[in-house]
Amino acid sequence: RVPKEKPKAEAPPKPRQGPTDEAQMAAAAALARMELKTKAKLPPSQEAIKNQVRKELMAEAAASERELPTEEKDQSCPPPEGAAAPSVSGVYFLCPLTGAVVRKDEKDKHLREAIHSYFSVDPVAACIMEIHTFNRDREKVRTGVETMAKYLDNIYLHPEEEKYRKIKLQNKVFQERISCLEGTHRFFQAVGFETKTLPVPEQETTEEYYVLKEEMLSRLEDLKDYKEQLVSSEPVRARLDRQLRLFQPSPAAARFELPNDFYNLTAEEIKREQRLRTEAVEKASMLRTRAMREKEEQRELRKYNYTLLRVRFPDGYILQGTFYARESLAALYSFVREALRNEWLPFELLGPGGLKLTDESLAFNECGLVPSALLTLAWDTAVMEDIKAAEEEQPASCLKAELLSRAQTLS
């Protein structure tokens, strides 16, 4: 298809404003809801120091802010003259440890700083998060954690056996399964091991060992708890922030301008792809078979990690959110329900062309809803007639009042 020509803006739009206090409060509320739904709760020690971690990071951020020059502080620069303003300023993530909302390119750094902030208060919890989060090879993590758990189990079950309280650092199993993982050495030190150089029996050489401190023999239950935390923990992952926005009725709802964050390709690669596609479009349209076109469409879909979706309500209001391209429709249905005054109200979503999106297990990229799409919400007719028949006074909009109070104008 020939790509549509981007509309030219008559005048440079105003700089985009940063998140308001209300937006930050909404993010904090969303964090609280997600934490209540989480099956595996944080250990009490982590919960107790969560606020302190947030304070430390905020203090560091404030110090960095004071040191930055003015031009670097302003992240909301207007687009070049003649370019349309982006529909969303970027892709953002919510840190589960601090509650902070950060840009995609800053989330890994922020998460690492948040985990490292735990070391001053709960070093064991910080090490466990470090092991599970910073080592990408999940199979190596599983093998290493199982081996470490075996070491601790042997001590707990056989505290009188001195051999179990010593771990030779040059041992082949230790080197191949444990030493190669980030955070493992700090974990052993945090749970009560210390490094010692010991003589090798019947030899005149010495070797490095981790040796359990004597006082830990009276704290075997703590050792057992550390092992259980190590085995049961999961990687700490920043959650995709929906960047929820509500817009007043607008004829521009179907117009999208996406930032580069939504693409798997770099900005230069995107421009090159567009140029090549424009040059070859006439020839390709003549020669491609249907199977070839479908294959190319699937290849196009894989270029996107995220999708920006808008849902237009019958009263014209437009709800916007950011999703993973491979998330299911169920995520969008939940997103819409949470915006309603009455979440039980039945509705269905219609895609471009009026196609009913009833199978909530389908992914957005399977439905052609990437990298952006405008959907339409339709109420269940029978239910709405019953509500009207009850002659109960209904609000002007089915959306929550706090959302309506923050409705923006779609530029």
- Indicate which CATH number applies to the domain containing 341: 3.10.20.90
Angstrom distance (rounded) from CA 104 to CA 93: 6
- Asked if residue 197 is part of any domain, the answer here is yes
- Asked if residue 386 is part of any domain, the answer here is yes
pTM of the full predicted structure? 0.70
- Give the type of residue at 182: E
pLDDT at 77: 46
Over 50: is that where the pLDDT of 41 sits? no
Angstrom distance (rounded) from CA 288 to CA 312: 36
Rounded mean pLDDT, 366-392: 83
- The length of the chain is 411
Closest CA to 86 of 263, 316, 216, 279: 263
Same domain, 113 and 193: yes
pLDDT at 32: 46
Same domain, 204 and 309: no
Rounded mean pLDDT, 227-247: 96
Taking a C-beta distance cutoff of 8 angstroms, is the pair 336, 378 a contact? Answer: no
- Asked if residue 249 is part of any domain, the answer here is no
Three-state DSSP state, 111:
helix
The CB-based long-range contact list for 207-210 (8 Å cut-off, 24+ gap) reads: 207/168, 207/169, 207/170, 208/168, 208/169, 208/170, 209/166, 209/167, 209/168, 209/169, 210/166, 210/167, 210/169
Angstrom distance (rounded) from CA 219 to CA 193: 13
- Asked if residue 193 is part of any domain, the answer here is yes
Same domain, 233 and 305: no
Same domain, 310 and 228: no
pLDDT tens string 107-138: 999 999 999 998 888 999 999 999 999 999 99
- Asked if residue 267 is part of any domain, the answer here is no
pLDDT at 118: 85
Same domain, 230 and 307: no
Of the three residues 188, 221, 239, the one that is the final residue of a domain is 239
Taking a C-beta distance cutoff of 8 angstroms, is the pair 125, 228 a contact? Answer: no
388 vs 328, residue with greater confidence: 328
Rounded mean pLDDT, 7-23: 50
**Beta pairing partners, 348:** 378
pLDDT at 68: 38
Of the three residues 199, 217, 239, the one that is the final residue of a domain is 239
DSSP H stretches of helix in 162-241: 172-174, 184-190, 220-232
pLDDT at 394: 64
Give the list of residues 6+ apart from residue 379 with CB closer than 8 angstroms, or none. 314, 345, 346, 347
Same domain, 176 and 305: no
Angstrom distance (rounded) from CA 166 to CA 146: 17
Maximum average pLDDT range among 83-97, 151-165, 198-212, 372-386: 151-165
pLDDT at 66: 41
- Asked if residue 149 is part of any domain, the answer here is yes
Domain tally for the chain? 2
Four-point Cα dihedral 164, 170, 176, 178, nearest 10: 50
Over 90: is that where the pLDDT of 242 sits? yes
Over 50: is that where the pLDDT of 73 sits? no
Over 80: is that where the pLDDT of 54 sits? no
Taking a C-beta distance cutoff of 8 angstroms, is the pair 34, 93 a contact? Answer: no
Over 90: is that where the pLDDT of 224 sits? yes
Same domain, 97 and 229: yes
The residue behind tokens 């117009």 is: 255
pLDDT interval class at 340 (50, 70, 90): very high
Rounded mean pLDDT, 327-347: 94
Over 50: is that where the pLDDT of 321 sits? yes
Angstrom distance (rounded) from CA 150 to CA 186: 17
- Asked if residue 255 is part of any domain, the answer here is no
Over 70: is that where the pLDDT of 98 sits? yes
pLDDT at 165: 95
Same domain, 234 and 330: no
Over 60: is that where the pLDDT of 65 sits? no
270 vs 410, residue with greater confidence: 410
Closest CA to 191 of 164, 159, 215, 157: 215
Four-point Cα dihedral 28, 34, 37, 39, nearest 10: -110
pLDDT at 67: 41
Q: Of the ranges 226-240, 254-268, 291-305, 341-355, which one carries the lowest mean pLDDT score? A: 291-305
- Asked if residue 184 is part of any domain, the answer here is yes
Percent of the chain at pLDDT exceeding 70: 68
Same domain, 113 and 216: yes
75 vs 382, residue with greater confidence: 382
Of the three residues 239, 262, 284, the one that is the final residue of a domain is 239
Same domain, 153 and 234: yes
Domain that residue 340 falls in:
301-409
pLDDT at 225: 96
Angstrom distance (rounded) from CA 320 to CA 301: 20
Closest CA to 98 of 144, 54, 65, 135: 54
pLDDT at 184: 96
Write down the mean pLDDT value for the chain. Answer: 80
- Kindly report the CATH number assigned to the domain that includes residue 183: 1.20.58.2190
